[in-house]
Structure 1
Amino acid sequence: MRWLSRVQRPRPSAAPPTAGTRTRLFVHELEDRWVPAAAPAAASLVASAAPAAAYGPKQLLGRVNAPQIDEASGLAVSGTTPGVLWTHNDSGNTAQVFALSTSGKLLATYTLAGTRNVDWEDLQVGPGPVPGQSYLYLADVGNNKLNRSTVQIYRIPEPSVPNAGAPPATAADAPTVTLRGAERFDLRYTKPGSGGVLTFPRYNAETLLVDPRTGDVVIVGKSRNDVFSVPAAQLRAGAGTIDLTYVTTLTRGSTFTGGSVSADGATVAVKSHSSVYVWSRAAGQSLADVFRAAPAAPTSVSGPAGEAIALTPDGGGFYTLAEGVNQPLYFWPRNA
C-alpha cells in the first residue's frame, strides 16, 4: 500500500512568503497490517494509563542553515557537549552525522568511515562497552520494499564538538571530520508464529531507542507497530547475525517515525507524523517493558514537525526537526 503526501517547506508565521519556497513530494511505504493469531494483547495508544503529559506550545528555536541536511530523519541530544544536537539524512545519502547548535546552526560534519547509509532512519546517544564513554548509535533499519532480511546498527564513540559555543558564520565554514572505528551489528527480527514456531519477518522501521541505563536497544516498526529488543550484551564484535526479540505490539493506526529516551532513563517518547506518545518509566523497569503499558495522552505535533524527536536529558521537553531545507527546529516544553 502506498500513499502520497505533499509537504511544503514551512515559513515563520510572522513573516511573508519568501522566494524560493519549494514543494517536495514524499512517498511513504506502508506494510500490510498482519497480526498472527497467537499475538499477545496489544498495548493501546488511545486509552491513557497515566495522567496526560502535555507538552507545548512549540517554540521556534531557529532554522537549519545547512542545505546538505535536507532529509533529516533522526535527532539526539549530545551526551558529551552541552548545546549540541545530532542529526543525519535518510536513505541513499552520505554516511554522515551533523552537529547542530540548538538554534539550528551547523557546527561540524562527521563522516563515518567504513559505513554505508542504505536507509538510516534514527540515531540515539547511549552507553557502550567502555564505561563512562558516550556513543552514537545509527539505525540503518529502513526497509520500504521489505527486501532486507537483516538490518544494521552502527555504533561509534561520540566525538566532542569543540566549537559548540561559537558556531561558524556559515554552514560552509563548518569543518568536516572523519570518524573511524565504527562497529556494525547485523540484526534480524524474530517472532513466534503459529504453534510457537519462530519466524523471521521483515519490517520497515524508523524508531531506535537506546537505554541510557543499560545500553539495551529497542526498535519499533513504522506501521506494523511491533516492538523488538536486544540486550546490550549481544552487541559485541564477532557476534554474527543478532536476533531481535519480539516484545509486544502497539495499537495500529500510527506510523512511527522516531523515538527518544531521556538521559536519566525516566522518560520515553515515540513520534508519529502527527503525535508524540510519552511513557514514564519506573526504576528497575526495562526499556522494552515500558511498551507493555499505555502511554500518556499524546501531544499533537501536526504540521512541519518532521520525523525526528529528541528528549532533553531530564525529559522536561523535546526537540523536533522537519525534512526539507531551511527547516524549523522546534522545542516543546513540558507543562508541569
Structure 2
Amino acid sequence: MERILHCIVAFVLLSSCSKDAPQADGMEDTQGYDWGNHIPFVTSYNTFGMPYTDRYESLPLPKGSVSMSEASGIAYSVRNPGKIWAHNDSGNPNILFLLDEHNGEIAARYQVNGTANLDWEDVEVAVGPDEGKSYLYISDTGDNDERRTNYSIYRFEEPLFEASHQGQLVRISTIAVDRIQFNYPDGSHDTEAMFVDPFTKDIFLTTKRDRVSMLYVLPYPQQTDGSSTCYKAGEFSFREASAATCSKDGLRVLIKNRQDIFYWERSANETMVQLLARTPVKAPYSGEPQGEAVCFDAENNYFTLSEQANFDAWPILYNYLLKN
C-alpha cells in the first residue's frame, strides 16, 4: 500500500509540472521537498579502476579549434540548433560566445546588460520560470581564495542568433535578467560545476577545492530579490569538479574534473539527489590541457572544451557520440 501511495503522489506531482519541463513516466518532482531537514548523503567509492559506460564511443571527434583562451563553460543551444554557448572565466568581460558545433568557429559574441563576470565558471541551457522559453544560466561562483561571502547565478531568456549577428559583438539591453544571489550554509566555496534539473528546475552546484567535491542545491523557485542560503545535498568521492551538465530530458548527468568524467543515468521514481548518491561510472574522456567544460547536445552526445592553458594552439572542441 505504501508503494502504491508513493506512485500516486509521484504521478500528481508530475501532472503539475509546467508544460515546457520534460515528462517521464514515474519520474519524481521534488518541489515542496523539505530541504531544511534534508540529511546530506555521503558516498564512499574508489574512482581508480571504476568501469566505463558502454553507451558512448570511446574516442571523440575533433570538431575544430576554438579561439578562446580561458573557456570555462559550454552549453548546447536550444533556440539556435547547431550552436554552443561558451564563456571565459575571471579576468574577462561578460561576453558569451556562440560557437558552431561543426567546426568550433565563433559565430557571434553577446554582451547582456545586467550581468557581470566576477568569475564565471559554468553555463547551462534549461527550462525556467516561463513556459515555452529556453533560459541561459551562468554561474558566477568561482572563488579560488574561498573568500567571497556572496555568489550569483544569472538567468535570462536565451538570445536568438540572426544572420546579421555573424562575426559581431551584439550588445543586448532588452532581455530581463534574474540575478540569483546566494551564500553557502558552511562558509565560502570555489564552485566550477553547475547544472539544472529540468524536472524540478532546481539548480545544483558542485564544489572544487574542498577535500571532496560537495553538492549544494538552490531549490526552485529561486529567490531573485536579495540573497538566500543554498542547502548542502551531499558529498562525492571525487575531488576538483570543474564542470557539470544534465541532459535536456533530465535522464543523464555528467560531472567532470581534470582527469575524468563521471556519468549517471536516472531511473524511474528517482530524485536527482537519489541519483547522485549512487556510485557513477566513467564516461570516455581524452585528456585536455585544462578541460573545464562539458555539455550534452539534443541527442545526448556530449562535447568538451579546454582552456588554452600554456599551449600555443587554440583548444579543440571534442564531440563524444552516443552509440546506436
Bucket of the pairwise TM-score, normalised by the shorter protein: 0.7 to 0.9
Q: Say if 2:168 is the partner of 1:174.
A: yes
The separation in 2 between residues aligned to 1:209 and 1:54, in whole angstroms, is 21
Contact 2:108–2:165 (CA under 8 A) maintained in structure 1 = no
Shift of 1:319: 0.5
Counterpart in the other structure of 1:184: 179
Per the TM alignment, residue 248 of structure 1 is displaced from its structure 2 partner at its CA by: 1.0
Measured in 2, the distance between the counterparts of 1:50 and 1:330 equals 18
The letter for the 1-side match of 2:168 is A
Contact 2:41–2:277 under 8 Å retained in 1: no
Q: Which amino acid aligns with 1:186?
A: Q
Q: Structure 1 stretch 52-61 or stretch 77-86: which is displaced more? A: 52-61
**Alpha-carbon deviation of 1:107?**
1.4
Give the number of aligned pairs. Answer: 277
Can you give the 5+ residue segments of structure 2 that lack an aligned partner in the other structure? 1-38
> Do the aligned residues in 2 keep the contact of 1:45 with 1:295 (CA within 8 Å)?
no
Corresponding letter in the other structure for 1:91 = S
| Deviations 1:8-59, CA, capped at 9 Å, x for gaps | xxxxxxxxxxxxxxxxxxxxxxxxxxxxxx9753253638699654443111
1:250 to 222, 230, 236: 236
Query: 2-side partners of 1:178 and 1:231: how far apart?
Result: 28
Describe the superposition over 1:131-165 as per-residue Cα deviations: whole angstroms up to 9, x where unpaired: 110000000010111111121100010011123xx
For the residues of structure 1 that align with 2:79 and 2:288, how far apart are their CA atoms?
31
Following superposition, the deviation at residue 128 of structure 1 comes to 1.1
Secondary structure at the aligned position of 2:282 is classed as: coil
Q: CA deviation at 1:258?
A: 0.3
Aligned to 2:216: 228
Deviations 1:52-96 (A, max 9, x none): 5444311111112x4xx2110000001211101000000121011
Residue 227 of structure 1 aligns with an amino acid whose one-letter code is L
Alpha carbons of 1:255 and 1:84: their partners in 2 closer, same or farther (altered >3 Å)?
same
**Percentage of matched positions with identical amino acids:** 27
For residues 153 and 293 of structure 1, do their structure 2 counterparts lie closer, same or farther at Cα, with a shift above 3 Å needed?
A: same
Aligned: 1:237 with 2:247: no
Residue identity in the other structure for 2:292: E
Provide structure 1 residue ranges, at least 5 long, that are not aligned to the other structure: 1-37, 191-199
Paired residues of 2:181 and 2:224 also in contact (CA < 8 A): no
State which of 271, 274, 297 in structure 2 corresponds to 1:289.
274
TM-score normalized with structure 1 length: 0.76
Letter in 2 for 1:334: L
Name 1:60's counterpart in structure 2.
62
Is this contact kept in 2: 1:266–1:280, CA < 8 A?
yes
SS at match of 2:274: helix
> 1:135 maps to which residue?
135
TM-superposed deviation, 1:287: 2.4
Q: Is the 8 A contact 2:152 2:181 kept in 1?
A: yes
Q: Distance in 1 between matches of 2:58 and 2:291?
A: 16
Paired position in structure 1 for 2:45: 44
Pairing of 1:289-308 with structure 2 (within 5 A)? 289-304=274-289, 306-308=291-293
Q: Which has the higher strand share?
A: 1
Asked whether 1:208 is paired with 2:210, we answer no
Deviations 1:143-190 (A, max 9, x none): 111111121100010011123xx994xxxx334232442111111112
Per-residue deviation, 1:302: 1.6
Q: Which moved more, 1:175-184 or 1:70-79?
A: 175-184
Question: C-alpha separation between the residues in 2 aligned to 1:310 and 1:206?
Answer: 14
Separation in 2 of the partners of 1:217 and 1:55?
29
> Which amino acid in the other structure matches residue 321 of structure 2?
P
Decide whether the 8 Å contact of 1:128 with 1:215 is kept in 2. yes
Compare 208-217 and 324-333 and name the one that shifted more.
324-333
1:1-336 aligned at under 5 Å gives the runs 40-44=41-45, 46=47, 52-64=54-66, 66=67, 69-102=68-101, 103-163=103-163, 168=166, 173-179=167-173, 180-190=175-185, 200-224=186-210, 225-233=213-221, 235-238=222-225, 240-252=226-238, 254-304=239-289, 306-315=291-300, 317-324=301-308, 326-335=314-323
Aligned mates of 2:181, 2:45 — CA distance in 1 = 30
* 1:214-243 deviation line (CA, Å, top 9, x unaligned): 21100001132010112111x1432x2222
Contact 1:44–1:294 (8 Å) recurs in 2: yes
**Pair 117,167 (structure 1): closer, same or farther in 2 beyond 3 Å:** closer
Instruction: Measure the CA separation in 2 of the matches of 1:310 and 1:150.
Output: 26
Q: Secondary structure at the match of 1:129?
A: coil
Amino acid at match of 1:174: Q
CA distance in 1, matches of 2:188, 2:319: 34
